[in-house]
Structure formats: structure tokens, C-alpha cells
């Protein structure tokens, strides 16, 4: 019966002895550090004038030495430091240069492991925050693990009304089977069992859930769910106490641990109920969003920008009101029409699989730049909120990236540089925001091949106050960030 609660049972309870009123007061009276992960499915162009700035271009001989001394896959030399060039892809972030950390050379150690079920698409966003070898579980087709955002939410999620938010803008290029464990491509966030966390994609519904009491029907459903949870817990406790009388000392110790978990869950139910009695203080002038019209991913594709911005508005509002401090969001990708940008062909088949052809690369850059423009929109929203210690952007870490990279790579057989669609080295990653004053931003940092992307997550966990944390294949904090 307890399995039905999913990851809830395994989450350690923090601040259990703190009176709820004191905790709620603390959460609104001081500026906390927030953590956001924005993912783009289908990959990002990392070739010339793309996601990572170059000092020198592709070189076949240099490519043999890639991964050291700033040499990128394909032999280009990274333009590092504070004076890095703003590429065409990154131009929309020009006004945020001092708030950025571009991080090249990182990837997960499991990224290069082929799986027998699906191609690189089988990882895509799915392993970006988990670092898992999804086909590495014997007897299981594909099995993911807990994502970094959920690992952090397990430890600090009790401090806010909502432990974490999982959002999506518009449709995915992957079908609904991805949530069943048969594939992982279009999701970022996963529970302790490796299943995709439910995502929310309607700004109006999200606003109603986070910032209003909801309809009478929704309120009744919440009360019914609390009663249902309560009755299950009572039944489990009664059964456990009956068993306890019949087992030896070793088993009683195990049952004591189990009882502790049950008590934690009881407290969680009471905390959730208590939060409902505390209204969210919305900024002056806040209005309920309008429902997005139509499907922005069809026709000429221009409607997707409005849908993205509606969800980004809700994301920023959730952080500003301290409803949550941890958010993941899928922001578009190579799916649907991009006619409005002047590129009418199939985005995935033509622009992602561009083979380095100049006209196709233009399309890839245009799509990536459009997504970066939406990211810049989010940063402007966060920068516009003043709070203790600076702005909301100053007090946040906003990750932007993709699980796949579309760009130059050395062919180890021919020893020539080619352009690979959906590669899994040199993961496209940037970090924006000051992390509450912890990050030294305004730079492009390059790391040697083999530096785990999970080291970045370890550093982010420490900035969130979780000292001594390690995640996935991390070997320690990522050097150079502070």
C-alpha cells in the first residue's frame, strides 16, 4: 500500500521539530537561493557561431587532441574567460553577459554508452539531470534514476509550499509512452524509482493551483485525498504494530525505522494542510493568465512564443512568491513548424541533422537563438524583482542546456571532422544568476574531457546549503565556479 505514494516515503524530513508558523515566516522574510533547470529537446548546435564561442575554428589535426587545453570536439579552440565572443546564438543574452557562466567540455560518464532499445534520442533530456545508464539494469528495457532536482527537493522541499515544480511549454516530439518507463526523452525530472514526474503545461491551471484556493470541486478533492491518505496510514500503522509483537529484536529495529518513515509522512500531510491556510502574497498587479489559444506548434509555429512566455511568467511568479525554490521546465525543441523564422522544412530531419551544410546550419542557429530569446525573457523577469541581497536573478541559479549536442566531431575511423546530429559529448550547458552571491559569473569556462557534468550539480547542491553532497558520477565540486 505504501508503494502507492511513490517517492514520498523515501524523502527525508528536514526541520521536523521547527514549528510550522516559524518555518513559514522564515520562508518569506529572507531571500533564499533558488534553482531552475531549463532543457531544450533535440539538441543544440555547438558548431561555428553556435552555443559555445570559438577563438579558432575546426581543424582536423587539432581534433586529434580534443578535450585538453581548450580544444573542443572538431578541433575548434574555445574562446574562454570574461572576454568571450557573443555568438549569433547567444546574442540575445548580451545584456546578461555579467550574469552568465558558459561551461564547455562537460558530460556524463554514461552518455557514451550505447543502448539496445533506442538511439541517442533515448537519453535526450531524460538523462540530463540523472546521469544514468538507462539500459544498464539487467532484465529491464530502460530504467532511469532520480534526477538532481528531486534529490535536492527531497532534502529542502519541506521549506516551501511546493517541494518542486515540473513544467513544460507546448508539445514534445515524443509520445505519451515516455512517462511509462518505455522511454525518457521529453522529461527532465524523475522520482526515486526513475519514473518521470508529472509535468504541467497549462499556465491557467498552474496559476489556479499555486495561487488560488481552486474551485469548490478541487477543494473537495484535496480534502478527500487527505482523508484517503490518513486512512491508509492508520491501517498500515495498526498492521505494523501487530507484526511488531511477533518479531525478534533485529526486526523490531527495522520496524522502528519504518515507523519513523510513517511519522514523517504523517507530518507531511499535516504540513500540506497547514500551507493551505496561508495565502500566497502576490505582487501588486498580478493577473490570472489568459488561456493560450490554439496549438502554437502548428501552422507557422509563431504561437509557440506566446505559450512559452506564459509558462515562464508562471515560473518567475512561483519563485518570486517563494511557493517553490526548485523548478524544471522543458522549453521547446526541434519539433513542429518554424516557418515564422523563415525555415519551413522539417526541423529535426533537416536542421538538427544538418551535416554542416551552411543553409541548414542557419536554420539550426535560428531555432536555437529563438529559444535563447525566451531564456533571456525569463532572466529579465528575474532581474526585475528586487529582494534582499539584490535581485531574484542574483539569488538564483538558472541552468540552460540540452542532453544532446549537434555539431562537429572527429570520426575516429576516418580521422576526419564531420558533423554529428545528437552527439553526447561536450554537453551544451550554461548557468545564469549569482547563486546568492556564491558564483563568479561573466565567464566561459572550459573543462578537460572526462570532467563529470554531475560535478556541477554537486556544486549547486552545496550552494543550496547541502554540504558534502555527491550525485551520480560526481567526483566533487566543479572547479572555477566561485
| Mean pLDDT calculated for residue range 35-64 | 96
Options 1.10.1760, 1.10.10, 3.40.720, 3.30.1600; which CATH number does 14-26+35-202+294-463 get? 3.40.720
Q: In angstroms, rounded to a whole number, what is the distance separating the alpha carbons of residues 86 and 50?
A: 9
Q: What is the 3-state secondary structure (H, E, C) of 351-376?
A: HHCCCCCHHHHHHHHHHHHHHHHHHH
Phi, psi torsion values for 58, nearest 5 degrees: -60, 140
Write out pLDDT tens, residues 319-356.
Answer: 999 999 999 999 988 888 999 999 999 998 999 999 99
State pLDDT tens for residues 136-191.
Answer: 777 777 788 999 999 999 999 989 999 999 999 876 655 434 444 444 567 899 99
- Which residues of the chain does CATH 3.40.720 include? 14-26+35-202+294-463
pTM value is 0.85
d(CA 337, CA 299): 7
Question: 85 exposed, middle or buried (CB, 10 Å; 0-12, 13-18, 19+)?
Answer: exposed
Tell me the DSSP string of 376-444: HHHHHHHHT-EETTEETTTTEEEEEE-S-EEEEEE-TTT--EEEEEEE-SS--EEEES-TTTT---SEE
**pLDDT-wise least confident of 267-271, 338-342, 433-437:** 267-271
Which residues partner with 373 through β-bridges?
Answer: none
Bigger pLDDT: 198 vs 135:
198
pLDDT score recorded for residue 442: 98
Does residue 27 surpass a pLDDT of 50? Answer: no
Say what the pLDDT of residue 269 is: 65
pLDDT band, residue 218 (cuts 50/70/90): low
Residue 9: predicted pLDDT: 31
Q: Are 347 and 363 in contact (CB under 8 A)?
A: yes
Least confidently predicted of 193-197, 203-207, 217-221, 357-361: 217-221
pLDDT range class, residue 87, cuts 50, 70, 90: very high
Residue 300 has pLDDT above 80, yes or no: yes
Cα–Cα distance for residue pair 420/355, rounded to 1 Å = 7
Q: Which of 141-150, 223-232, 358-367 has the lowest mean pLDDT?
A: 223-232
Is residue 150 left, alpha or beta, with left meaning phi > 0 and alpha meaning psi from -120 to 50? alpha
pLDDT of residue 187: 87
Amino acid at each position: 500500500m505504501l508503494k502507492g505514494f511513490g517517492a514520498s516515503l523515501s524523502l527525508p524530513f528536514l526541520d521536523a521539530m521547527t514549528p510550522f508558523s516559524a518555518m513559514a515566516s522564515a520562508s518569506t522574510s529572507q531571500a533564499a537561493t533558488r534553482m531552475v533547470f531549463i532543457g531544450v529537446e533535440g539538441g543544440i548546435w555547438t558548431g561555428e557561431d553556435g552555443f559555445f564561442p570559438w577563438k579558432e575554428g575546426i581543424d582536423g589535426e587539432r581534433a586529434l587532441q580534443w578535450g585538453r587545453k581548450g580544444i573542443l570536439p572538431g578541433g575548434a579552440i574555445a574562446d574562454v574567460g570574461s572576454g568571450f565572443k557573443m555568438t549569433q546564438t547567444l546574442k540575445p543574452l548580451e545584456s546578461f553577459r555579467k550574469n552568465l557562466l558558459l561551461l564547455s567540455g562537460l558530460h556524463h560518464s554514461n552518455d557514451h554508452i550505447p543502448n539496445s532499445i533506442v538511439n541517442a534520442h533515448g537519453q535526450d533530456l531524460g538523462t540530463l539531470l540523472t546521469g544514468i545508464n538507462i539500459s544498464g539494469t539487467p532484465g529491464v528495457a530502460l530504467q532511469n534514476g532520480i534526477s538532481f532536482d528531486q534529490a535536492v527537493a527531497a532534502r529542502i522541499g519541506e521549506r516551501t509550499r511546493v517541494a518542486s515544480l515540473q513544467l513544460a511549454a507546448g508539445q514534445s516530439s515524443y509520445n505519451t509512452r515516455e512517462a511509462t518507463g518505455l522511454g525518457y526523452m521529453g522529461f527532465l525530472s524523475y522520482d526515486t524509482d526513475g519514473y518521470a514526474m508529472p509535468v504541467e503545461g497549462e499556465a491557467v491551471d498552474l496559476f489556479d493551483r499555486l495561487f488560488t484556493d481552486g474551485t469548490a470541486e478541487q477543494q473537495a478533492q484535496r480534502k478527500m485525498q487527505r482523508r484517503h491518505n490518513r486512512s491508509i496510514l492508520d491501517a498500515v500503522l495498526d498492521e505494523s504494530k501487530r507484526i511488531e509483537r511477533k518479531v525478534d529484536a533485529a526486526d523490531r529495529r527495522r520496524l522502528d525505522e519504518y515507523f519513523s518513515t510513517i511519522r514523517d509522512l504523517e507530518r507531511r500531510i499535516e504540513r500540506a494542510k497547514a500551507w493551505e491556510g496561508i495565502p500566497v502574497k502576490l505582487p501588486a498587479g498580478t493577473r490570472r493568465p489568459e488561456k493560450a489559444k490554439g496549438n502554437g506548434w502548428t501552422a507557422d509555429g509563431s504561437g509557440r512564443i506566446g505559450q512559452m512566455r506564459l509558462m515562464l511568467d508562471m515560473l518567475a511568479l512561483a519563485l518570486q512568491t517563494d511557493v517553490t525554490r526548485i523548478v524544471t521546465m522543458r522549453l521547446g525543441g526541434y519539433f513542429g513548424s518554424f516557418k515564422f523564422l523563415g525555415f519551413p522544412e522539417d526541423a529535426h530531419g533537416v536542421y538538427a541533422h544538418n551535416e554542416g551544410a551552411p543553409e541548414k546550419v542557419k536554420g539550426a542557429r535560428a531555432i536555437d537563438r529563438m529559444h535563447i530569446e525566451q531564456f533571456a525573457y525569463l532572466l529579465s523577469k528575474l532581474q526585475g524583482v528586487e529582494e534582499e541581497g539584490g535581485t531574484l536573478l542574483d539569488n538564483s541559479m538558472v541552468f540552460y542546456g540540452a542532453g544532446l549536442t549537434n555539431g562537429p566531431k572527429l570520426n575516429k575511423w576516418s580521422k576526419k571532422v564531420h558533423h554529428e546530429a545528437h552527439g553526447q559529448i561536450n554537453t551544451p550547458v550554461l548557468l545564469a544568476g549569482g547563486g546568492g552571491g556564491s558564483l563568479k559569473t561573466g565567464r566561459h569556462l572550459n573543462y578537460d574531457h572526462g570532467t563529470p557534468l554531475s560535478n556541477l550539480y554537486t556544486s549547486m547542491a552545496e550552494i543550496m546549503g547541502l554540504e558534502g553532497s555527491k550525485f551520480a558520477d560526481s567526483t566533487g565540486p566543479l572547479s572555477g565556479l566561485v
